[in-house]
Amino acid sequence: GAVVSQHPSRVICKSGTSVKIECRSLDFQATTMFWYRQFPKQSLMLMATSNEGSKATYEQGVEKDKFLINHASLTLSTLTVTSAHPEDSSFYICSARPGTSGVPTGNEQFFGPGTRLTVL
């Protein structure tokens, strides 16, 4: 149990295009999902917190108009990188936190496998 998937796993796009990344909790309901970005040899950086049915909360320094987050259901959150540029190339990882009525229990978050974005 507690599986989180991401799609696509890898994407290459041209500069100026928009890219959508999906994050799904496959066997539990996630009232909260998180989006991280990780550059090579660096740690994960929290970008935003996504709550089902409400607007995402962005961390300081993260452009909300650049990184659009939608959390339309308890099992799906999407991150859209708008007008992508080469500096947006990174590894994007989502995580999901179970709701109070779901399993598994515990404080841990469950991470997706990540999406490698390369902007040419």
Contact residues for another protein (CB under 8 A)?
4, 6, 32, 34, 36, 43-46, 49, 57, 91, 93-95, 97-98, 106-114, 116
Least separation in angstroms between CB 115 and another protein:
10
| Least separation in angstroms between CB 38 and another protein | 9
Q: Which is nearer to another protein, 13 or 45 (CB)?
A: 45
* CA–CA–CA angle 43, 92, 78 (5° rounding): 140
In Å, the largest CA–CA distance within the chain is 43
Taking alpha carbons only, the member of 114, 106, 116 closest to residue 34 is: 114
- Report the residue number, 84 or 110, with the smaller CB distance to another protein: 110
Task: Name the minimum Å distance from CB 16 to another protein.
Answer: 26
Q: For residue 71, which phi and psi values (nearest 5 degrees)?
A: -130, 75
